[in-house]
Structure 1
Amino acid sequence: MGVNETVAKPLDRLAALLAHDMGAVDALIRTRMESRHAPRIPEVTAHLVGAGGKRLRPLLTIAAARLLGYEGTHHQLLAATVEFIHTATLLHDDVVDESRQRRGRPTANLLWDNKSSVLVGDYLFARSFQLMTETGNMRVMSILSNASAVIAEGEVLQLTAAQDLRTTEEIYLQVVRGKTAALFSAATEVGGVIAGGTDAQVQALYDYGDALGIAFQIVDDILDYSGTTETIGKNTGDDFRERKLTLPVIKAVAKADAEERAFWQRTIEKGDQQEGDLERAMAILGHHGAIDAARADALAWAARGRSALEALPEGEIRALLTELADFVVARVA
């Protein structure tokens, strides 16, 4: 997802502060995505990994561990694990969603085929489990393996919930916790665990990652209707075209009159979309203040994330993580 240069400073400063660790993580990623027998694996993986992503999730793992004073190297293995899980889910998501653009570039399934994307995604999942076992820490293995299951569960739930007008904000939150926030919270939690943090510290890191991930996804859903292709790294309106009931639409449906509900039933539930429907959808969202309401939710989750950090040691890393919570929502604030 695209990042506006004017608000990228906290993320860039955190990456600069942890550059040594992130260099080691990048080296691990390059080494472990290789395959002696199937050259398509590094080809497909390099296309996505090299597309300019900010490495936010592995950076969170590194930051969480260093925040608690960790001096070892296992956090680097875990950060690479997190990035492999994330990349695998992106490959699978693009097949499921029939996406054609990711981070401003053609998707792997478009350049190669669906089979390659799915199988390379499977390979990266397998690699992620190899990496996490090298830490020898059963607790982090449990956290990351559970997160992988929750992510898959969230994606399956979205298949049924995304095109059902009966989907509530509660169900939406369950989907978001699965497809996005689960990896954010796992990333921060395992950093705390490997650093030997107290139960309270590890819980605070989990709460921060959870809130940050939810805010992150809500912002992404808002930008699909209000951002630009250059800003979000994909085509504006993709969620509407893919018939996804995201938070702004759920809020608008809850206030819809009979005519508007019929519109949502035709375009989202039945998939009968015509020219001008996206513009009408955006007009309905504006009429009911759905974008503003979703924005308020995102800001509230970011505030919850900042609050969680108060239980953790003060210092530059904590200050940057606090700024990062603001950064995530700055694009719609």
Structure 2
Amino acid sequence: MRGQLPYLSCPLHEFRTNDLKDCVAARKRNGLTSRIAFVGDSRIRYLLELFLYVYRDLDLLITTFKGETVTPELFLGETGKEYWIKYKHHFFVKSTKLKDLKFEFFWAPVLQENRNPDEHRVAGARDLLEEWANSNETLPDMIVLDSGTWGLIISKQEPLDTLVNHGVEAMKKLAPVLAQLATRTTVIFQLPDPIFEFVHHQFTKSSYEQQTNAMMNWLLTAYANLHPPNVIVWDSFLPVAHQQREDCMKLIHYLKNLDTLPSYPSVPQKITWQCYERMHTGFEGLTIGLQMLINHICNPFVDRLDVCCNKQI
């Protein structure tokens, strides 16, 4: 669509590698770093994984939380899938060609709880966010958060109690620290994407039966209405996620074998499209979400005034 989405009043600019280099250099000239932190579950981690693919010519290196350095090819491919906890629990990304660009990811599927390195299902990041908020050190230039999905599977409570605890009560716990962080840096809370309810999760039904779009919409409403005013609620990606699901239905209808679709090198084919996967938007859709983030952080420093988040907006 050449960067023009029907529900946005301004077009997105597609940042290629040289554009990104110019952006990072311009930010540096204005005394700013280019460090982005992603905190949440795999839905938000996929955005950073996609960055590893799209900008792989920047010679990116990933350092795991155990100090091991791996290449994007290992990280994105079947090796990374096999060693998920080892590689993807927490990790840091840097470029040998663009040293001022840095990324970090912290696994926190239940965001409102504290970190728990011994139990990946209930790990949170509230204490990490509090450390950042109370630190005198330079914060990431952007903190991108998400939550919700895992909160619907770890609880044995009744559905309404689960929704209250992981929606209303969660935001009560998070709101003070998010408000504090938002006075010093950009904080973005990504709302949960819709899921493919009709796709079997291949886990025990009793653990995942509360993961429905009705439950997700309740959480979405809680996050959207109870967040602190300075925190940006990222809802503009939701139409893209819905559209990709419609595209998947058409692809399934017209193609007998989705494996014939083009896929990204070094990435498992199914991740490119995710038409038979319940929980994630595929890389084809996420490319727009990634460009939204880069537009937000870069466009105030580019000369074009016809794009979103430019110098005049």
Q: What is the TM-score when the length of structure 1 is the normalising length?
A: 0.31
Q: Which has the higher strand share?
A: 2
Q: Which has the higher helix share?
A: 1
Greater RCO between the two (CA within 8 Å, min separation 6)? 1
